Amino acid sequence: MRHVIIGTAGHIDHGKTTLIKALTGHDTDTLREEKERGISINLGFTYFDLPSGRRAGIVDVPGHERFIKNMLAGVTGIDVVLLVIAADEGVMPQTQEHLNILNLLDIKKGIVVITKKDLVDDEWIKLVTEDVKAAIKNTFLKDAPIIPVSSHTGEGLDKLVNTIEEMTQNIEDRDILTTFRVPIDRVFTVSGFGTVITGTLISGTISEGDIVEIYPKGIISKVRGIQVHEKSVEKAEAGQRVAINLANIKKDEIERGDVLSKPESLKVSHMIDCRLNYLKDAKHPLENRDRVRIYHGTSEILGRVVILDKEIVNPGDTALIQIRLESPISALRGDKYIIRSYSPMMTIGGGTILDAAPEKHKPFDKEVIDALLLKEKGDPKEIVEQTIKANSHMFIDFEQLNKLIGKSFVNLNQFIEEIISEGKVIKISSSDADIYFHKTYIEEIKTKINEILIDFYKQNPLKFGIPKEEFKNRIFGKNIKQKLFDNILEYFSKDLIEIQGAIVGSKGREIKLEKRQEEIKTRILEQFISSAYQPPKPDEIFKKFGREEKTAKMVFEAIVDFGILVKIDEEIYITKENYDNARQMVIDFIKNEGSITAAQFRDMINASRKYAVAILEHFDSIKLTKRVEDKRILVTFT
């Protein structure tokens, strides 16, 4: 079933609230001040049943210029607008401003209702009708029905109801499959129930028991109950006015302008990138850094405009802009917005949000402008690719990608698979989720890896590679999970790098010693072989080479990398052959005797206690042995 929301618009005292009461029997002015002054101040909400039996929600908005922000909060999510114009006054300033707002918000359908027909004659109605046609000729209402009515006598109301019935048969379907969103327009408490919010469910489906988040505040709550048109329901769908009872949350923690949605489904940002349509009747050009009032959903936020593709925006122009906000916003790509001048407050433009959480841009950045034009064009596959390209450095998964794109694509998985098959995006699986990288980012990482290794080899010509941890920090910093980093290394190990234990080197790297280096290697090894388990300190060996001390150190490190020498601690290294012999002696002795002491091991290898203890502690560190009091027992052995 298509759910319908009908909204009113028009100048103050043109009979909007009276018309709604005549149609529904309900008075939407509920405040004492409204009744005393005879004007609407806040939003009014009610419903009425169409001839087909469908129940339509109605949002009645105030017409006074002082309450335009309330009007803007009310028109969020409406399907059909009733532009109300009094027969005795005709088109007035707020009529025009409301019409501008409706046009900027891309409202698709509407009916012009000329009220107070009983106060004028037919000739006057014809004159007002011509006046109205002139006012709406360049708007979405240019072909709209114009229906004169009298809320007091009832004349014309049947025709209006039948026209609403007919028009709402063909309204655009709402997206009920995407994540639910409710821009909040009222918050109050109900005795015995607690906090209740109301708003128009503009997308998705919400059910009793759902866990929800209040954006941008980040407050988590649970749906205790839902009402649609004053009746309790278990589930509500996009296109319905809802009242939602929230658990464990206080009234003063929420306010109009907040958004109710699924946890972690929206981003919170202090910037939005937009297409701006600047009204031709704006009084002044819009300049860089102008302070404006932004209206999105039910929120009003102050911000400054940065013009991206022009020096200034003249009345009637369109432009790409970034709005830097003074308070956070939670929006989606494709959302509509309105801007009003900071002072005096006048509607000056509006349009579409193209990126709801961008980075800060400079004017005239061609890459930024091209990306925004693509987002505006709306080709789903290109948007998916460009979103991955712009955010590869954030290591995004499916859920994050969906959030960054904004408006949900039903076939998102299909688009991802297509651009992967085209080689434009690379998927790297991690333990948590599949991570998507654009090919340009992969090429950047590949270049970085080559640069790092080339630079490393210049400084360390006899080393196979760089330690993994250092390699990770130089490429990605510390903002990457170890498992994902390992998966990325595995991807590049196909043709770029080689991993040996905790060392990363170039694929196929071979280290060849020069003649003199081979001679130094032989001399160094002779000393370690002859000294067996009481080896010299490396620094003592290097000093013996005099002016070749630096070369001797490089050769020594290469010998260790080759696995010919094994590091016991910072000062003790023994040959691989001696290391293997010592390891086997410990295993055999403990298997036969049950344990081994440092003194027994010292005698076994014919070395001082210092070296025997160091080797045993090394075996403890690799989990070969375990110290129990003054003895060692085996942990594992092969």
Among left, alpha and beta (phi > 0; psi -120 to 50; other), residue 99 is alpha
**Residue listed under structure tokens 């980012």:** 441
Instruction: Residue 43: name the closest of 59, 19, 27 by CA.
Output: 59
Q: What would the two tokens of residue 432 be?
A: 């948590």
**Strand 55-60 vs strand 5-9: parallel, antiparallel, or unpaired?**
parallel
Q: What would the two tokens of residue 603 be?
A: 């005698």
Mean pLDDT of the chain: 88
Lowest mean pLDDT, pick from 37-41, 178-182, 366-370: 37-41
Q: What would the two tokens of residue 266 be?
A: 């929206």
CATH superfamily for 181-261 is: Translation factors (2.40.30.10)
Other CB atoms within 10 Å distance of the CB of residue 372: 24
State the Cα–Cα distance between residues 522 and 331, nearest whole angstrom: 69
Q: 3-state class of 240 per DSSP?
A: strand
Helix (H), strand (E) at residue 476: helix 468-476
Class in CATH terms, 513-638: mainly alpha
Give yes or no for residue 249 having a pLDDT over 90.
Answer: yes
The DSSP call for residue 409 is P
Instruction: Residue 92: name the closest of 37, 35, 16, 153 by CA.
Output: 16
Other CB atoms within 10 Å distance of the CB of residue 100: 22
> Which of these CATH numbers, 3.40.640.10, 2.40.30.10, 3.90.1530.10, 3.40.50.150, describes 269-370?
2.40.30.10
State the Cα–Cα distance between residues 380 and 382, nearest whole angstrom: 6
What mean pLDDT is predicted for residues 590-613? 94
State the Cα–Cα distance between residues 634 and 594, nearest whole angstrom: 8
Query: Higher pLDDT residue, 65 or 161?
Result: 161
What pLDDT score does 1 carry? 52
Helix axes 439-459, 482-492, angle to 10 degrees: 90
Q: What would the two tokens of residue 564 be?
A: 């010919």
Q: Exposed/middle/buried for 362, CB within 10 Å: 0-12, 13-18, 19+?
A: exposed
Long-range pairs for 264-267: beta carbons < 8 A, 24 or more residues apart: 264/213, 264/399, 264/403, 265/179, 265/213, 265/403, 266/181, 266/213, 266/215, 266/330, 266/331, 266/332, 266/403, 267/330, 267/356, 267/357, 267/403, 267/404
Query: Higher pLDDT residue, 366 or 179?
Result: 366
DSSP bridge partners of 206 = 236
What pLDDT score does 569 carry? 92
Instruction: Residue 325: name the closest of 369, 404, 272 by CA.
Output: 272
- Domain 378-511 annotated CATH 1.10.10.10: yes
State the Cα–Cα distance between residues 422 and 461, nearest whole angstrom: 39
Q: pLDDT-derived band of residue 76, with 50, 70 and 90 as boundaries? A: low
State the Cα–Cα distance between residues 195 and 632, nearest whole angstrom: 66
Q: Are 76 and 7 in contact (CB under 8 A)?
A: no
What mean pLDDT is predicted for residues 587-597? 94
* Number of helical (H) and strand (E) elements in the chain, helices listed first: 19, 33
Q: Where are the domains of the chain?
A: 5-170, 181-261, 269-370, 378-511, 513-638
What pLDDT score does 37 carry? 37
**Beta strand spans in 268-311 (E):** 269-278, 286-287, 291-296, 299-307
Q: Are 263 and 220 in contact (CB under 8 A)?
A: yes
What pLDDT score does 484 carry? 92
Whether cis (ω within 30° of 0) applies to the bond prior to 263 is: no
Give yes or no for residue 32 having a pLDDT over 70.
Answer: no
Whether cis (ω within 30° of 0) applies to the bond prior to 216 is: yes
Class in CATH terms, 5-170: alpha beta
Other CB atoms within 10 Å distance of the CB of residue 546: 8
Q: Are 188 and 251 in contact (CB under 8 A)?
A: yes
Q: What is the pLDDT of residues 506-557, one digit of tens each?
A: 998 888 888 998 899 999 999 999 999 999 999 999 999 999 998 899 899 8
DSSP bridge partners of 196 = 188, 245
Domains 5-170 and 513-638 share a fold: no
CA atoms within 13 A on the CB side of 331: 31
Q: What is the pLDDT of residues 333-352, one digit of tens each?
A: 889 999 999 988 899 999 99
Instruction: Residue 363: name the closest of 297, 402, 309, 323 by CA.
Output: 309
What pLDDT score does 41 carry? 35
